[in-house]
Structure 1
């Protein structure tokens, strides 16, 4: 089977040991993902990947079947986007570490480059005030054609997605797990509603990837990165919502915070 350049991007994304920043260096040094994939051990060591990572990559490369993986994606109706693809979010190309690949479930990948993408994030332990405020804001944004972006976590994220769907709007869920891993599983129905009702589920993690402590914070850069602005509805200083807000500020995006009750810790 003849592989395209974007297929080799896929190989690096599945390997996982080489993140976006290192991948950039590989492209600069070798000129293409294909040449980087085919590189000798000597050449890989030349660019300071290190002995351990180089050995792990060579072992992975020798045992990984791109053909089988591509067939599995097709079977599960999972698409993938690389930076050269028309539907890859152009806003992500403006951040320091855009995902090597974005896995996509849904029938409308053009949503990723809509003008009005707004992230709505917040605590998993929302109050009634937070819920009502979220519903009001999301309903209003949807009326004006905004696409609601969130992380499908419990609490505010779930409320934001559901409200967008109820208002016949579009919503994008950015996962911190593999594209086919529904987490939390209590959002099984929501996951498929998003996929089947003019929305998208996306992830930089391949099918089968089990979420880790770092994968959730890292995905937050994508939530803010594809969005024009981020709205925070309840969130403690150490929460994922605050991580998303900091990413948004670092990326030069707008951040909006909903005032909370004066006696509320969030």
Structure 2
């Protein structure tokens, strides 16, 4: 058992902003980290389009099913699924993507030498087994603090081309990710608030953020097509005065 764990928990690597494997879309945001710490295959973020699937920790039974289903569809269609490994929507979406054979990128609010929350460590292990990656902007030994969860949210959005909110209350941390998505010009979508119990945040996203509203699997497939059609471009210089 110990040998299996040693094999799985690959060495921590460093990726600097001027290196070719630094996530291209993350490189374009103003408050990008100069260094990323990671385990696994960070190259997936430049090889395939990514969608951050996020939501509150407190979710309804319907929300859990929608998160899992969204993860499954995203994984089957060859997109990376990105989120922060939180309880609730995040975890369910990751489970769905992994079950479908998809690749995932987990962004941690602490040093990458530990997993938060610890109860989801098995999901993190599956992410690595299936060729995904764990990422943090913090060096080893950094503890999770409240403000680091908000900082983490900008990375989830920043390294993705789209952000899909499953279920969220208006005062939940998920809304930080939605705000970053708008600032970073990412394609924002959410499940229709009428389908869900804890969805005052979804209602705000629909009415004030003009998020694309997902009611059916067909709506989700159309959203994925929009993400797939986003053109890549190369920024010639990333030097700022």
Q: Which has the larger radius of gyration?
A: 1
Partners of 2:169 and 2:198 within 8 A in 1: yes
Partners of 2:167 and 2:196 within 8 A in 1: no
Of residues 90, 100, 112 in structure 1, which corresponds to 2:24? 90
- Please give the alpha-carbon distance, in whole angstroms, between the structure 1 residues aligned to 2:108 and 2:12: 14
Partners of 2:107 and 2:134 within 8 A in 1: yes
Q: CA deviation at 1:261?
A: 3.0
* C-alpha RMSD of matched pairs (Å): 1.5
What does residue 123 of structure 1 align with? 56
- 1:183-202 superposed Cα distances (whole Å, 9 cap, x missing partner): 11101211211122211000
1:221 aligns with 2:130: no
Of residues 99, 104, 114 in structure 2, which corresponds to 1:166? 99
Q: What secondary structure is seen at the aligned counterpart in 2 of 1:214? A: helix
- Please give the alpha-carbon distance, in whole angstroms, between the structure 1 residues aligned to 2:110 and 2:91: 16
Q: What secondary structure is seen at the aligned counterpart in 2 of 1:220? A: helix
Q: What secondary structure is seen at the aligned counterpart in 1 of 2:121? A: helix
- Please give the alpha-carbon distance, in whole angstroms, between the structure 1 residues aligned to 2:198 and 2:10: 43
- Please give the alpha-carbon distance, in whole angstroms, between the structure 1 residues aligned to 2:149 and 2:191: 23
Of residues 192, 195, 206 in structure 1, which corresponds to 2:139? 206
Gaps of 5+ in 2: 1-8, 200-241
Q: CA deviation at 1:263?
A: 7.4
Q: CA deviation at 1:137?
A: 1.6
| TM-score of the superposed pair, with normalisation by structure 2 | 0.76
Partners of 1:181 and 1:209 within 8 A in 2: no
Of residues 67, 79, 99 in structure 2, which corresponds to 1:146? 79
Q: 1:263 to 1:183 in 2, by over 3 A?
A: closer
Partners of 1:177 and 1:210 within 8 A in 2: yes
**Count of matched residue pairs:** 191
